[in-house]
Amino acid sequence: MSSLIHNENLHVRKQCGYGDFILFTFSKIIVINIVVISINLEGSKLKLQDSVGYLIVNTGRKLTLNLTQLFQTHNLTSEQWSLLMSLHNEEGISQKELAERTEKDPANVTRILDQLERKGLVRRVTNPEDRRSFNMFVTESGREAALELMPVEAQFVQEILVDIPQAEIEAFKAFMLKVNRNIERRRVAAE
């Protein structure tokens, strides 16, 4: 089995007048190459659907697809919304800082910001300390879109977590943090 996975996380937590939204991490996982048909483990075969990597990738794909469908009313993708929300929570940061905080490829962040800027949701301002870089700000339209979509995302999270005990959710988060730590450790060791 060989795989190369790039993980882009979206962390959302926002307090509004009517209560606190859930903090939930969506992992948008882009599979570059996965070859898992079946593995012979001590005489038994592992089906693709039993592979942890497959389950993570497939779930991430479904989350992304569903969120993008929910955000269609605002002409946004889940990727665009993740950057918009990150800037809504902390604007005035550089594109480089935004890429680091969202764990996205800098070139991908630039492309998404170009799209958000064309839609009038964010604006670039030349960094007064470094004229070669830009600081990013959310426009009033971007702020309105973020505020309108937060309850949509919160409802979606509530629906997908229904009937799952809090202990299992916490165990899942701990598991995913360990997987991410191991991936990072592996990446650093390969450098």
Same domain, 6 and 51: yes
Domain membership of residue 170 as a residue range? 161-191
What distance lies between CA 99 and its chain's CA centroid?
12
Tens of pLDDT, residue by residue over 16-55, are 332 333 333 343 333 333 333 334 445 566 677 778 888 9
In 52-165, which residue ranges form alpha helices assigned H by DSSP?
52-70, 78-89, 95-102, 106-118, 140-160
Give me the CATH number covering residue 77: 1.10.10.10
Same domain, 16 and 108: yes
Tens of pLDDT, residue by residue over 90-113, are 999 999 999 999 999 999 999 999
Contacts of 76 by beta carbon, 8 Å cutoff, 6+ apart: 68, 84, 119, 145, 149
Report d(CA 91, CA 88) in Å as an integer. Answer: 6
Same domain, 50 and 135: yes
**Domain count along the chain:** 2
